Amino acid sequence: MRPTGAFPATRMRRMRRDNFSRRLMRENVLTANDLIFPVFVLDGEQRTESVASMPGVERVSIDRLLLVAEQALTLGVPALALFPVIDAAGKTDGAEEAWNPDGLVPRTVQALKARFPELGVITDVALDPYTSHGQDGLIDPRDPRGYVMNDETLEALAKQALCHAEAGADVVAPSDMMDGRIGRIRTELDRAGHIHTRILAYSAKYASSFYGPFRDAVGSAGNLGKGNKYTYQMDPANSDEAIREVALDIAEGADMFMVKPGMPYLDIVRRVKRELEVPTYVYQVSGEYAMLKAAGANGWLDEKACAMEALLSFKRAGADGILTYYALDAARWMKSGA
């Protein structure tokens, strides 16, 4: 028997029936404007190295990075996030290389900004590429457990951030999770007249096992050894704590706020955006990328479709932007309409 029309009056499938009405009711869209591309930079010239646990990701020297930057601009990706690969000779207990004005990061920033002034350049502020022990901060030599000291580390981070700003970085991004570093860095930048340098705070950075492939990429896995970052990065069990972390960084003057990792932490992205109403970013980390790549390579998942779905889910959760190793691929896929 045909339904009389009394039931069901509401048919959710009506709007899904045709492409035009699906498009008209679409709530979220991903565009190239939402993307930040992380890049690994090497010293030297004409160098490209692959990263075994991150197929498709390469470490490149500055001359080759300029080609990558040009692609990003052409594809409409607004910004690059720089991660340096520092060789063993540059790593010390005191991380002094982190604020060397002739170091790899300042030279990379200068080269990028000279060639592509309109490209956003974001630098990572944390000591882990530069410490012989692979921790993000300075270790207390008297502590048998190697406690990472907060206030001593702040002084080092302030010097590092200032060094990046002097080189021309548009955004400095403290990812170290020390307490009070946003305020300390803001003061340092303002004192030196860098009032326009933005701070992207990695406010809710979790002590995650999804960072594994990244540590291979920058070569800090060996230095960190069996060490962990539980005394400063957040416990994956916590949610309210993330709101407090972001609130503190708002009060200290940060401009942008990062949740990291991404897909296992969509609830945190949602809460930060809903409850605090700030520019909210999310980092689809190396382990998330590696999972999609591996499943794609095995033919277990449609890599492109799943990667785009994951990126869209960040928008749906409330992210204003996404830091992702897929940034250039995604921008290319969107451009080709594929």
How far CA 109 is from CA of 98, 187, 190, 260, in Å, comes to: 14, 22, 20, 24
Site for ligand FVT in 53-82 (CB under 6 A): none
Question: Which is nearer to ligand FVT, 135 or 286 (by Cβ)?
Answer: 286
Name the binder of 108 from Mg ion, ligand FVT, none, CB < 5-8 A by kind.
none
How far CA 54 is from CA of 218, 286, 288, 291, 327, in Å, comes to: 12, 7, 10, 9, 14
| Nearest-angstrom CA–CA distance, 204 and 103 | 28
260 catalytically annotated:
yes
Contact (Cβ atoms closer than 8 angstroms) between residue 59 and residue 41: yes
Q: Catalytic one among 91, 205, 229, 315?
A: 205
Sequential DSSP letters for 58-80:
EEEEHHHHHHHHHHHHHHT--EE
245 among annotated binding-site residues:
yes
Q: Catalytic one among 91, 260, 273, 293?
A: 260
Contact mark string toward Mg ion, 193..232, x via CB under 5 A:
----------------------------------------
CA neighbours closer than 13 Å in the CB half-sphere of residue 177: 21
Cis bond upstream, residue 8 (ω within 30): yes
Question: In this chain, which of 130, 206, 214, 281 binds ligand FVT, going by CB under 6 A?
Answer: 214
Token pair listed for 211: 């960072």
Question: In this chain, which of 123, 175, 223, 324 binds ligand FVT, going by CB under 6 A?
Answer: 175
Beta strands in the chain (DSSP E): 35-42, 48-50, 58-61, 79-84, 120-125, 138-139, 148-149, 171-174, 198-205, 256-260, 280-284, 321-324
Q: Residue 131, interface with ligand FVT (CB under 6 A)?
A: no
Selected range binding Mg ion among 6-14, 121-129, 130-138, 241-249, rule: CB under 5 A = 241-249
Total residues in contact with Mg ion, by rule CB under 5 A: 1
Question: In this chain, which of 128, 136, 170, 245 binds Mg ion, going by CB under 5 A?
Answer: 245
Closest CA to 203 of 150, 248, 147, 265: 248
Site for ligand FVT in 241-300 (CB under 6 A): 285-286
Please state the closest distance from residue 122 (CB atom) to Mg ion, in A: 18
Q: Residue 314, interface with ligand FVT (CB under 6 A)?
A: no
Please state the closest distance from residue 262 (CB atom) to Mg ion, in A: 19
Q: Which residues are known catalytic residues?
A: 205, 260
Binding residues for Mg(2+): 245
Residues that bind ligand FVT (CB under 6 A): 124, 175, 211, 214, 285-286
